[in-house]
Every structure is written in structure tokens, then in C-alpha cells.
Amino acid sequence: MANEIKQVALYIRVSTDQQAKHGDSLDEQQHTLNEYVRQQGNMRVFKTYIDDGISGQKLYRDEFQKLLDDVKKGRIDTILFTKLDRWFRNLRHYLNIQEILDKNNVTWLAVTQPFFNTETAMGRSFVNQSMGFAELEAQMTSERIRAVFDNKIRKGEVVSGKVPLGYDIKDKHLVPNEKAKIVKEIFQYYLETGSMRATVRHLENHFSMTRDYQSVRQMLTNRKYIGELRDNKNFCKPIIDRDVFERVQLQLSKNIRMNKKRDYMFTGLLVCSECGCNYSATAVISRYVRKDGTTNPNERHLYRCTKNRNNAKKCSNKKGIYETTLENFLLENIEKQAEELSVKMQQEPEVKKTKNTNDKIKKKIDRLKKAYLNEVITLEEYKKDREELEALLIPERDNKIAKIDLNSLHNYSTAEFRDGYKQLTISEKSSLWRQVIKNIVVYPDGNLKINFLGY
């Protein structure tokens, strides 16, 4: 067993140009690892995995994920890298991946730091302690930075972040500028109207300033406008009177209470054809006045493109659709669109053609990598040619999503189904549609396209 040839994977990572200057360049790591393999005599390089420009804090690195796939397929015995920080800098990520390696009987070794390894109990303990200390150091650094920030805030100095509208920074302090009058008008306008939507439009129409609901709400709740930041009640010169500010907060809280929780049947299923943004729903309440003077409120749910609703300049699709209209459309058309999809799926050879094309491109990428590793081409040539090849890859349909049985959708048009459907709650109806529908695309002319799960 001692002389058995091990299949080893070489893992190389550089996240910054600065690391390359300190002996961690791709070429230097490659040379060190190959030299180590040559000296051992019982190792064969299965494959070299290179992540260029990727942080060790990130778990999802392209080549790293390919390495894990090969580990799970039993193709690798040992993983080699130059230093532990080329592998991981996050203890939680390290432990999660180590569990996968242990399950597949795969070990690793930092060749320039032999005291870091997983083949001995002492080595494992040393790795865990070292990573734990690294995280502790990061936390202590964070606490020191927080202490510095707290001291600056006590002195009224700007720490970081975006400067609020209506202020400039002078000598590290916030000072009101000529746009402070805009801030005052926005607070007053919201107080008079009580409408966030009207306030957003007022800001755009009168001051040519485009803001979404969230940013205007952040403005209206920013306590810097009354001179406060955290525990410092005199952080800067206020723009808004405290009484006005507190009345605005009261109005905001009233609006939140009025917007009670509602169940919308198609939340997350509708997609705008123009910008790709999801449609969001609002309750539209109309009141019918009876002859006796009493009212009969009627609530309908209207879906609109979220981006268009917040800012019409960002998306031109103004088409809104009521929940009842959409529900009737599905009941009337789901069988028809399922049949059209079945016909389209007869063109499956086109999918195979796409896969064959992509396989050829991936083989070219592998040959390109071998050319670089064998020093036939330079790193710059490798990166340039790889980017060009990857741009040629054709997007493939996601086959991981379970396909629905299109034939089963014929049941949706039967009288028995519709009778049972009427008895369902909104939540149950929503769950039913989500079992077969991936999304519904809404076009400006009112046309709708159903995309089924797995297709």
C-alpha cells in the first residue's frame, strides 16, 4: 500500500496582484506543487484547478467547485496546495468542506507548511486552532475599528457611508448645503399627503430627482436630519425640526398598520417581459354606495411591474393585471399552452446539438489549460483565450428541476377540477399553481406566456 500511486489534485489560487508580489503568483504555486509531486515518487497529477482573482473567504469558486465534483466521483486521493490560506480563510467553510473530504477518504496537504495536514490528529488540531485564531484576530480588528468609529461619532466627525441629501462634508463634519430646502419640502409634503407614492413623484417632477420608495423612506427616517447619530444628540446641525420629524414617523407607522398582511395568489410568479423584474401586488379597494347610504367595499388584487411602479423611467411596461383576470386566463389556457409546449419539445435534437457544441468548447478550454500548464502559452494568453471560449458557450436548460407531466394538465380543464378549485383557499390555490408553473411572463400588449416547471 505504501508504494501505491496516489491521484493528486493541485489547487492554485491568487486573489490579488499584491499576493503575486509576495511569492503567491500562479506560476510560482504551479512550480512548487509540481516539484513536490516529482520528489514524492508515488503521486500522479490527476488535474490542476486554478482560481484566479477569487477570495479565500468565498466558498463558491468555479474551479474549486469542479474539484469538489471530482472528489465526490472518487477520482482524487489527495489535494495539494502551497499554503493553508490558498485553501480557506474561513473556519466554518473549511469544516463543512472537510466533512465532504472525510466522507470520500480524501486528504490534503499544504506543501510549504507540512505541519498543516489532515493525515494526523495533531495536524487536524493545529489547523482548527490556526483558523480559529485567524477568525479571532479578524473579530478583534473589527472591535478596534468600531471603537475608533464610536470615538469619531462622539466628536461629530463623519465616519463613512453616503452623505445624506442636503449636507456637505467640511472639516470632517456634516454641514447643510443649498439642497437642505429640498429635504425640508419632502418632509412637509409627505406630512401633508401621507402618501409615499405621491412624495416620490413630487421629488421627481419638481426636483428631477429619481428615487424609489425605499430610499425616500430612508430619508424620512434618517435621524441625522434632526442632528442625531446613535448616542450623540448633537452630531450635526439639524435640517428638520424635531416636531416635524416625529410627526412624520407617526404618519409612517400609521401607514404600516393600514397595510395589513394580505394573501396574494401569484406573488413571485409574474415576470415583466421588458425588464425581467417581478410583478408585485397591491389591494385596490372600491366602495359601492347602496340606496340606504351604506357602503359595500370591494377588494381586488392588482399586479404591476415593481420597477415600473417605483419609477416609470426604468421600465416602460405599464401593463397591470388583476388577480381574477389572471386566474381565469390560467383555467382557460393552461391546457392549450401545455399542448404547444409538447409540440415544441419534439425539437429535442436541438437541445442535444447545444450540448454537443458546449462539450466541444469545454474540451478546447481543457486543452488550453494544459497548454498553459506546460508553458506553451503565457498566463495572459491563457486568460484571454479562455474568456473568448467561455463567451461561446450556449446556455442550457436547467435539467435539475423536476419536469412536470404535461399530460396531467388536461385535468385542469375538467368540470370536476373547477368545482373542487372553487372550494380552495387563496393559499391552497397558490400552492396548486406553483406545483406546475415556473413563472408567467406579462407583455405590454396584455399577452401572457406560461413557463412550466422543468421546461
Positions marked active-site: 15
Please state, as a whole number, how many other Cβ atoms lie within 10 Å of the Cβ of residue 4.
7
Q: Among residues 167, 170, 297, which one has the least CA distance to residue 239?
A: 167
For cell 495572459, the residue is 380
HSE-CB at 4 with a 13 A cutoff on CA atoms is: 7
| Structural contact between residues 262 and 283, judged by C-beta atoms closer than 8 angstroms | yes
Distance CA 242, CA 223 (A): 9
| Structural contact between residues 15 and 83, judged by C-beta atoms closer than 8 angstroms | no
For cell 469619531, the residue is 152
Q: Among residues 99, 121, 119, which one has the least CA distance to residue 109?
A: 119
The partner residues of 282 in beta bridges, in order of sequence, read: 302
Q: Which residues touch 296 (CB under 8 Å, ≥6 apart)?
A: 287, 288, 289, 290
Distance CA 421, CA 278 (A): 26
Distance CA 134, CA 123 (A): 17
Three-class secondary structure of residue 12 per DSSP: strand
The partner residues of 304 in beta bridges, in order of sequence, read: 280
Q: Among residues 321, 347, 359, which one has the least CA distance to residue 455?
A: 347
Distance CA 389, CA 358 (A): 10
**DSSP-derived pairing of the beta strands 107-110 and 173-176:** unpaired
